[in-house]
Amino acid sequence: MSVVFLSTRPPTVSVEKLDAIAGRYGVALPGHEQPHYLHLLNGLDATLTQLSTLPVYTDPRLLPDPTTLPRTFVKLGGDAVKNPLNTWSHQTKISSTQPIHTRLAGKTIAVKDNVSIAGVPLTGGTFPELLTGKKEYPIPEIDAVVVKRVLEAGAVVKGSANCEHFSMSPLSFTSASGPVHNAWLRGYTTGGSSSGCAAAVAAMQVQGWRARHGLPSNDEEIGEGVDMAIGGDQGGSIRIPASYAGIYGLKPTHGLIPYTGIVSLIPMIDHTGPMTTTLEDNALLLSVLAGYDGMDPRCTPETPLRKNVVDYSALLACWKTEKEAKGEWTPQSAGRGLRVGVIRESLEVMGLTEEVKAIITAAAAQFKAVGADVQEVSIPMHTLGPSIWTIATRPFMCEMGLQNRVTPYPQYPMPDVTPPSFSQSAFDILNKHNPAVVNMFFNSAFLNEKPDANQMLARAMTHVQQLRDAYDAVLEDFDVLLTPVNPRVGSKHPEYEMTVDQKMEPAIGATLNTCQFNVTGHPALAMPAGWGMAPDGPGMLPVGMQLVGKRFDEMSIFKAAAAWEFGGLGLDRWNGQLN
């Protein structure tokens, strides 16, 4: 089959360019063949020129609801007075005058600053020259699907929350606008990369918690918060900050919530999901966000159509009512009928402190106390999960995540995100603010240049399936699996003047119980389990636990979490000492 390119313009590709291209493959073109291949290459160049004259097409399904216009914003990133925790990137107030339904009426929402809000600058946690090669941040023309859905449900979008540099840190000191502080203890990490989302929701959590415990308000110290936030998670970036912040953060099943209109790292591990002050709100927000959008290639045949998405919050309430009718909704029997597996290997990961281990052990005991069947289970591959996640993703991370190279599937490609090539100037900025991004460039180049790169990647992908199968096999006998989230209590922010090792050290091991479930796609919820002593200073900080369920079975996670909380909320395990 031959392809004929028709063009009346003079050729623009030179023989030297053709020879250079052939030389990349070690090919020396015979002289008599050069004109023919040159003709074909010039035909391609003419076709490219033709396409480049077309205006960028924006899918009308992503255009903002006219009733939410016009939109204004205030830049708050780095404003220590109006934004004391450095929670906010840009604040706004967007709502629809004609919502489709009112399930989120009265709820305020923030979104991670890699999520498109039409008319509001998008930063990705980095500097504009690293995101677009220009001095200005891009201003999207579209609303991400998750933004459209919360507006259709009657919520008020309060703005974009700061996130970590290119979404590549489990801590919260790398954002271009400065560190994001923990709402419970300033100067300490609130976790990343959805750091501002965690801080925004935690601000509301702190306010309500202090009121319940008879403590004075500290609103001026923590600033404005929101009821809910929408974060992103590629290795733990919803669950880790939720754990540090004492809130509820769900990484849903891969493909359950569309990722359209959000800056990607790698489609295989991209997740977006709810971060809330309560379990019930988490279930409510999930019901609004979930369901196929017709655009996101991460969705699969298992992804429900929107009309088929279950009402998680209503089902949870119905389940409680049924247990009440049977006399089982009590502190001794709320968990009756639930099977909980504690992953032994999750309690043996590198860097897990005895303090955190004791909190998770106590959480397992609370499941037993409310009547659940709790057993320790061994999943040896759990300890290999981080290595599988690393090798399966690093070869793609730079092109897809740091250069926004579009994958060959129909999608909305975020055309305004155009990072320049890695350079000395980029290194100088990243080395100061987030060495993890520099490391990612080096890692990706190292792996891709290995002679057996494709074989190693193929092997890693087979082990992704093996890892998924290992969890699926255990989940045939259990409703949820229990693990720690973070291996230690939240650390102090490092200083920018520290060495690379000093900046990276607090993050080591942070994802050892979370990143596995990004490649396998299983849903996982981080929720408050207790308190730990803040290192290097007085005070207490929240510690979270993780509940993992079968793919597309978020409902079992919500049931288990609700039953556990009937035995006492994690944040109410307080010894009277705070900060």
pLDDT digit string (tens) for 85-129? 999 999 999 999 999 999 999 999 999 999 999 999 999 999 999
Q: How do residues 397-449 score in pLDDT, each as one tens digit?
A: 999 999 999 988 999 999 999 999 999 999 999 999 999 999 999 999 999 99
pLDDT tops 90 at residue 2: no
Quickly state the pLDDT bin for 516 (edges 50, 70, 90).
very high
CA distance 326 to 83: 49
Mean pLDDT, rounded, for 367-394: 98
130 or 80: whose pLDDT is higher? 130
Segment 175-219, tens digit of pLDDT: 999 999 999 999 999 999 999 999 999 999 999 999 999 999 999
Cα–Cα distance between 517 and 537 in angstroms, integer?
33
Rounded to whole angstroms, how far apart are CA atoms 333 and 341? 18
312, pLDDT greater than 90: yes
pLDDT of residue 402: 94
Task: Give phi and psi for 381, each to the nearest 5.
Answer: -70, -15
In one letter, which amino acid is 291? G
Active site residues: 112, 193, 237
Kindly give, in sequence order, each residue whose CB lies less than 8 Å from that of residue 362, ignoring residues fewer than 6 positions away.
529, 530, 573
Look at 497 and 136; give whichever has higher pLDDT: 136
What is the spatial distance between Cα 527 and Cα 562, in angstroms, rounded to a whole number?
A: 11
Counting residues of the chain whose pLDDT is more than 90, the rounded percentage is 92
- pTM of the entire predicted model: 0.96
pLDDT, tens only, 342-359: 999 999 999 999 999 999
pLDDT band at 8 (very low <50, low <70, confident <90, very high): low
Summarize pLDDT for 475-502 with one digit per residue, the tens: 999 999 999 999 999 999 988 778 888 8
Query: Could you check whether the bond before residue 243 is cis, i.e. omega within 30 degrees of 0?
Result: no
Q: Which of 337, 321, 345, 343 is nearest to 371 (CA)?
A: 337
The CATH code for residues 60-572 is 3.90.1300.10
Among candidate residues 486, 482, 491, 505, the one with its CA nearest the CA of residue 543: 486
Residue 5 has pLDDT above 60, yes or no: no
Greater model confidence, 336 or 504: 336
Residue 502's pLDDT is what?
A: 85
